[in-house]
Amino acid sequence: MSEPLIIAIPSKGRLKEQVEAWLSDCGLELALNGGARGYLAELKGLSGAQVRLLSAAGIADALGSGDAHLGVTGEDLLQERSDIESRVLLLRALGFGRADMVVAVPKSWLDVETMADLEEVAHDFLARTGRRMRVSTKYLSQTRAFFARHGVVDYRISESGGATEGAPAAGAAELIVDITTTGATLAANGLKILADGLILRSQAQLGASLRASWNSEQLAVAEQLLRAVEARACALANSTLIWPAAGGAREREVVEALKSAGASLRPHGLMIATGRAAQAAAMLTAAGLGPVTVSQPDFIFEVACPSFAALKQQVL
């Protein structure tokens, strides 16, 4: 029996709930093995795949090492791994699990609003105390790269093992680099985000391991999954317009105008971006065509599957 396609998803928390809801929306129901506390699962409708429930950081590690073929985790965790481009292919941003990675300093630092201000303060701090400013963070690689781009060199990283935002108040660091969704926790701890201190706008990503061993059977299962994911995403972004065809010159003129604006022909009608559906319907009715029925399909399976094509090119 061939080895299964290994898919890693979060084992707990809000991200786990969001991933399960996303899979279900794509027609793939998660069935846990061993009850609610199990760490293995399967996806109904996708034979040949084994789901492993890991921590978000563990998923990033598994993709980087090749222990999982596919996985969903935060982009912040994936980007923190060194040499990410040669290890993981980002297939699709999923639109949930959003968080910003930022540089935050105490609100009491009234004259520090930008990274340039921070560079000056860091230099003065070293001259005055003989010590480098401490930056508390879990994101060592991205902090170093971002600070280097802004010319900040007089600092040292204090690796965070807990609640990073509390480090300055506890005297464990002078400033922090951390992720935030609303900034409320930072504000509650007396911190402010620098005006140009955004390092990364992170969200959940579906990634594929370039270090895993791939065979034709595993690729076939991955293609089935990716086609379902792309078909659902395409359906959510588009609507179909249907009307009683008149066949006259005016109808052809309106249809060609809509096609030039991005619509595509479908049986007995058009498909168009949902945000433009009302405008397109108005153009049709103004030409005396109608009634126009606008509906959103559940799935749109195209012949091409760009995410699978990119994966296949990388692993074969």
- Mind listing the pLDDT tens digit for each residue in 133-159? 999 999 999 999 999 999 999 999 999
Domains 99-201 and 234-295 share a fold: no
DSSP code for 76: H
- Measured from the Cβ of residue 192, the count of other Cβ atoms closer than 10 Å reads 20
Tell if the pTM clears 0.95, that is, is over it: no
Predicted confidence (pLDDT) at residue 56 exceeds the cutoff of 80: yes
Tell me what the pLDDT averaged over the chain comes to: 95
Report pLDDT digits (tens) over 267-290: 889 999 999 999 999 999 999 999
β-sheet with 99-106: strand ranges across: 155-159, 133-137, 175-180, 99-106, 191-202
Domain ranges of the chain: 5-97+203-213, 99-201, 234-295
At residue 162, the pLDDT reads 83
Report pLDDT digits (tens) over 299-316: 999 999 999 999 999 998
CATH class of the domain comprising 99-201 = alpha beta
At residue 194, the pLDDT reads 98
Q: Which residues neighbour 139 within 8 Å (Cβ) at sequence distance 6 or greater?
A: 76, 80, 101, 177, 178, 179, 199
Q: Which of 305, 297, 300 is nearest to 226 (CA)?
A: 305
**Tokens standing for residue 307:** 């995410």
At residue 175, the pLDDT reads 98
Q: How far is CA 134 from CA 110, 147, 176, in A?
A: 19, 13, 8
At residue 82, the pLDDT reads 72
Percent of the chain scoring above 90 in pLDDT: 91
Q: Which residues neighbour 176 within 8 Å (Cβ) at sequence distance 6 or greater?
A: 103, 104, 135, 136, 137, 160, 164, 165, 167, 168, 191
Q: What is the residue-wise DSSP string for 271-302?
A: EEEGGGHHHHHHHHHHTT--PPEEE--S----
Report pLDDT digits (tens) over 180-227: 999 999 999 999 999 999 999 999 999 999 999 999 999 999 999 999
At residue 39, the pLDDT reads 87
CATH class of the domain comprising 234-295 = alpha beta
In CATH terms, is domain 5-97+203-213 a member of 3.40.190.10? yes
